[in-house]
Amino acid sequence: MSNEIPRLRLSVLGMVAVALFAALFARLYDLQVVGASDFQVQAEANRVREVLVPAPRGRIFDRNGKVIVDNRIDVVVAVDRSGFNQLEEEKGTELLTRLAGELVKVGKQIDAEGLRTRINNQKFSRYAPVPVAQGVPEELKIYLEEHAAEYPSVIVQRTAVRHYPYGPLAANVVGYTAKINEDELAVAEESGTPKPYSLNDDIGRTGVERAYEQDLRGTPGKREIEVDADGDPVRVISETLPKPGSDLTLTLDIDIQAVAQQRLEQGLEAARQRPPRPGNAPNQGQRGAVVVEDPNNGQVLAMASYPTYDVSRFVDGIDNAEWAYLQDPANEYPLNNWAMQGLWASGSTFKLFVGYAALKSGLMSADTVFFDRGGYQIPGCTGAKCFRSNAGSSAYGAIRIDEALTVSSDAYFYNVGAQFYLQQERFGGEEAMQQYIRDFGIGEETGIPLTEEVAGRLPTPQWRREYCAQQDCDPDWHAGDNVNLAVGQGDMVLTPLQLANGYATFANGGTRYQPQIAASIDPPGDDTAPTLVAPVVAGRVDLPPEIRQPLLDGLANVPISGTAVSAFNGFDLEAFPIAGKTGTAQVQDKADSAVFSAFGPVNAPRYQVTVLMEESGFGGSNAAPVARALFDVLSGAVPKPPAPLGGVGAAVGALPTVGGAYD
């Protein structure tokens, strides 16, 4: 009995041992045989790191093949993070101090601590050198290479960066690039783009650079790097070369763009120097825009915005002081493209659209005569604000709609607005006038393929009710609101691009095109043809001859005998007839905004020019001369000057001196 108990215990222990070894062998079999392939993949992943190699962005050309944005090869000083981290702390500090001293000598203001902060910045890949200075001179490159032993882990390499041959010219259209941030990277990863990003990559932030990011961005190369157990690089296993981005040809004519920018800045300065008329606030305009559009397809030939900025300042990373300047309201936000982001009342340029509404609805006919006594009394209204005077209190007597456009009779259009209100049930309800104006795209985005365009506002009774439900104001729409709207005042606001596109629609006979900024996209390589960007029709306006002709006659006489006659004095209107309209938009407690929108030649329009200058006085005296200077070049009367390299340059000649224009 005593011998059986130890034997039983040994048997139990043996069975337990066999079970344990069986489980162990089963697990080993699972790991080494069944799961071998999976673990091999994991081990390989731990051993190999994939690094993206940046690709050059595509170039940007104007319509005539002139390079607006290019890539130049810059010398970049970088630090190999893994090698630097292996240095003793004292030696690492000495290295950074020496390197900072050499960088300061070539104009790079950075110290040893700044270099260390940049090296430790986690936005840079662990497996690629960290750039610490860009655009250093060739002499420093040679020096660092000759003294490589004194600068361990310091690498001097060349990289492609954006180059702007024309300096700040067209900056608000082209836009700028910057290093991608974490939010943008997350969006890019979610979108599954075939051109992946890493945190050190450039991305288009504004303008064309942003709108056509996926075309301009190149396809990154890939470098597979073997690392050791600590994650430090050992060798390069394989490498795929990067592929450049597509070249982009814009519809812009950089020479016309230069003239537009020059003349806009010159016009604003001239307006500020001109003494105000009695009772008017001083002209203090600091913002404005010019748009030149082809009415036949919506292509934008020029889009000038003021103030502007030097886009090249973003190439090496803009510093905090410069960024603060660009964001300071006192500097009028130079980064904004005021041609499509600025909102102003249009003044009398709006009368074209109101005239169309009057004729199209049947409220007026081309032969309807209105007697202009110098002002208009709003029916059923009492009080001082119920009588509205013409500009300068001028009385024009018996006039038709074409004559009312030529002389810019406010009284005529005050009456149109009032009659639409009083007879709204007859002509389509409370939006009797607005329904026709909306056909020209007023109050909505034009659809230009650039980001951050604003829509403007075409006010309606419904808009007023919704607005005043949130604000302390009268929610009712009155006859006076229609009267104000009929002359481009009141609560209506639009962008210069929106106004230009409305006039271009009228000029071509009623086809409203989406404004285009890109003409073609050319992928890299010789085996792929460029993709042409086709015109896009956004809407149509019914303009039969009996409606269009009287409106066209009125506009065509504006530079001949109307409010723009002084601005076009000496211009050959027989060889190149122009039709347009001046506008003076009133702003409370500020100087008026000057507006002019025109197209030519009248019978076969090729160019539409719109000028809007904030707080610059009468449109005929200030905006029309800027447009005239552009038409001098567009018509061929003045040779087209080449855009100056490196900057906007000085305007050629002075703007015409204009006086006596009340609108």
Mean pLDDT of 385-397: 92
Round to whole Å and give the CA distance between 588 and 578.
32
Structure-model confidence comparison of residues 29 and 579, the more confident one: 579
DSSP state of 30: I
Question: pLDDT class for 29, splitting at 50, 70, 90?
Answer: low
Same domain, 76 and 28: no
384-390 CB contacts, 8 Å cutoff, 24+ apart = 385/480, 386/480, 388/414, 388/483, 390/662
Domain containing residue 361: CATH number: 3.40.710.10
Same domain, 341 and 296: yes
Question: pLDDT class for 230, splitting at 50, 70, 90?
Answer: low
Token pair 């110290």 in the structure block, residue? 111
Query: If you average pLDDT over every residue of the chain, what do you get?
Result: 89
- The percent of residues above 70 in pLDDT, for the chain, comes to 90
Domain C-terminal end among 213, 248, 283? 248
Token pair 């904004």 in the structure block, residue? 336
Residue 383, in any domain of the structure: yes
Same domain, 341 and 260: yes
Pairing of strands 60-61, 247-250: parallel
Please give the pLDDT value at position 43: 47
Name residues whose C-beta falls within 8 Å of residue 161's C-beta, 6 or more positions apart in sequence.
71, 72, 73, 74, 134, 135, 315, 316
Burial class (CB in 10 A: 0-12, 13-18, 19+), 44: exposed
Give me the number of domains the chain comprises. 3
Structure-model confidence comparison of residues 73 and 526, the more confident one: 73
If phi > 0 it is left, if psi is from -120 to 50 it is alpha, else beta; for residue 617 that is left
User: Which of 221-225, 429-433, 522-526, 649-653 shows the highest mean pLDDT?
Assistant: 429-433
Residue 114, in any domain of the structure: yes
Indicate yes or no: pTM above 0.75: yes
Mean pLDDT of 2-18: 67
Q: Is the pLDDT of residue 439 over 80?
A: yes
Mean pLDDT of 364-381: 95
Please give the pLDDT value at position 527: 77
Cis, bond preceding 379 (omega within 30 deg of 0): no
Helix (H) or strand (E) holding 581: strand 579-587
Round to whole Å and give the CA distance between 344 and 489.
9
Same domain, 556 and 618: yes
Residue 656, in any domain of the structure: no
Structure-model confidence comparison of residues 197 and 211, the more confident one: 211
The answer to whether the CB of 460 falls within 8 A of the CB of 431 is: yes
Question: pLDDT class for 383, splitting at 50, 70, 90?
Answer: confident
Neighbours of 239 (CB within 10 A): 13
Round to whole Å and give the CA distance between 524 and 652.
38
The answer to whether the CB of 408 falls within 8 A of the CB of 358 is: no
Q: Is the pLDDT of residue 168 over 80?
A: yes
Nearest to residue 490, comparing CAs of 413, 428, 555? 413
Same domain, 260 and 138: no
Helix (H) or strand (E) holding 159: strand 154-163
Please give the pLDDT value at position 279: 76
Please give the pLDDT value at position 573: 98
Structure-model confidence comparison of residues 118 and 650, the more confident one: 118
Mean pLDDT of 515-530: 91
3-state SS, one letter per residue, for 517-555: CEEEEECCCCCCCCEECCCCEEEECCCCHHHHHHHHHHH
Residue 661, in any domain of the structure: no
Same domain, 346 and 386: yes
Nearest to residue 517, comparing CAs of 456, 601, 451, 580? 451
Structure-model confidence comparison of residues 154 and 371, the more confident one: 371
To the nearest 10°, report the CA torsion of 563, 567, 570, 575: -70
Please give the pLDDT value at position 23: 67
Neighbours of 446 (CB within 10 A): 24
- The angle at the Cα of 535, spanning 533 to 541, to the nearest 5 degrees, equals 165
Neighbours of 72 (CB within 10 A): 13
Cross-strand pairs, 247 = 522
Same domain, 183 and 301: no
Please give the pLDDT value at position 192: 80
Tens digit of each residue's pLDDT (9 = 90 or more) over 564-620: 999 999 999 999 999 999 999 988 889 999 999 999 999 999 999 999 999 999 999
Question: pLDDT class for 32, splitting at 50, 70, 90?
Answer: low
Residue 657, in any domain of the structure: no
Same domain, 184 and 281: no
DSSP state of 392: G
CA end-to-end span of the chain, whole Å?
A: 127
The answer to whether the CB of 450 falls within 8 A of the CB of 433 is: no
Radius of gyration of the chain (CA): 34
Please give the pLDDT value at position 526: 73
Question: pLDDT class for 27, splitting at 50, 70, 90?
Answer: low
Residue 421, in any domain of the structure: yes
Q: Dihedral of CA 474/475/476/481: which sign?
A: positive
Q: What is the DSSP string of 605-616?
A: --EEEEEEETT-
Mean pLDDT of 547-565: 98
Helix (H) or strand (E) holding 290: strand 288-293
The answer to whether the CB of 103 falls within 8 A of the CB of 133 is: yes
Please, what's the b/e burial string for 298-329 (b: 16 or more CB within 10 A of its CB; e: otherwise)? bbbbbbbbbbbbbbbbbbeebeeeeeeebeee
Same domain, 467 and 437: yes
Residue 645, in any domain of the structure: no
Question: pLDDT class for 476, splitting at 50, 70, 90?
Answer: very high
Same domain, 240 and 262: no
Q: Is the pLDDT of residue 42 over 60?
A: no
Cis, bond preceding 329 (omega within 30 deg of 0): no
User: Which of 237-251, 625-639, 649-663 shows the highest mean pLDDT?
Assistant: 625-639
Poorest-pLDDT segment among 198-202, 204-208, 459-463, 569-573: 198-202
SS3 percent helix, strand, coil of the chain, rounded to 5, is 40, 20, 40
Pairing of strands 67-79, 130-134: antiparallel
Amino acid letter at 251?
A: T
Round to whole Å and give the CA distance between 68 and 59.
8
Please give the pLDDT value at position 145: 87
Same domain, 71 and 82: yes
Helix (H) or strand (E) holding 358: helix 351-361
Measured in whole angstroms, the distance separating CA 453 from the mean position of its chain's CA atoms is 7
Q: Which tokens sit at 119?
A: 């090296």
3-state SS, one letter per residue, for 202-244: EEECCHHHHHCHHHHCCECEEEEEEECCCCCEEEEEEEECCEC
Q: Phi and psi (nearest 5°) for 119?
A: -65, -35
Q: Is the pLDDT of residue 19 over 70?
A: no
The answer to whether the CB of 514 falls within 8 A of the CB of 440 is: no
Mean pLDDT of 634-648: 89
Please give the pLDDT value at position 5: 64
Q: Is the pLDDT of residue 47 over 90?
A: no
Please give the pLDDT value at position 28: 65
Nearest to residue 76, comparing CAs of 1, 149, 6, 138? 138
State which residues form the domain around 101.
50-248
Domain C-terminal end among 187, 222, 248? 248
Measured in whole angstroms, the distance separating CA 531 from the mean position of its chain's CA atoms is 22
Tens digit of each residue's pLDDT (9 = 90 or more) over 279-325: 788 889 999 999 999 999 999 999 999 999 999 888 877 777 888 99
Residue 653, in any domain of the structure: no
DSSP state of 438: G
Same domain, 413 and 304: yes
Domain C-terminal end among 248, 273, 292? 248
Q: Is the pLDDT of residue 34 over 70?
A: no
Structure-model confidence comparison of residues 103 and 492, the more confident one: 492
Name residues whose C-beta falls within 8 Å of residue 258's C-beta, 6 or more positions apart in sequence.
166, 169, 641, 643, 644, 648, 649
Structure-model confidence comparison of residues 88 and 441, the more confident one: 441
Please give the pLDDT value at position 127: 67
Q: Is the pLDDT of residue 231 over 60?
A: no
Question: pLDDT class for 41, splitting at 50, 70, 90?
Answer: very low
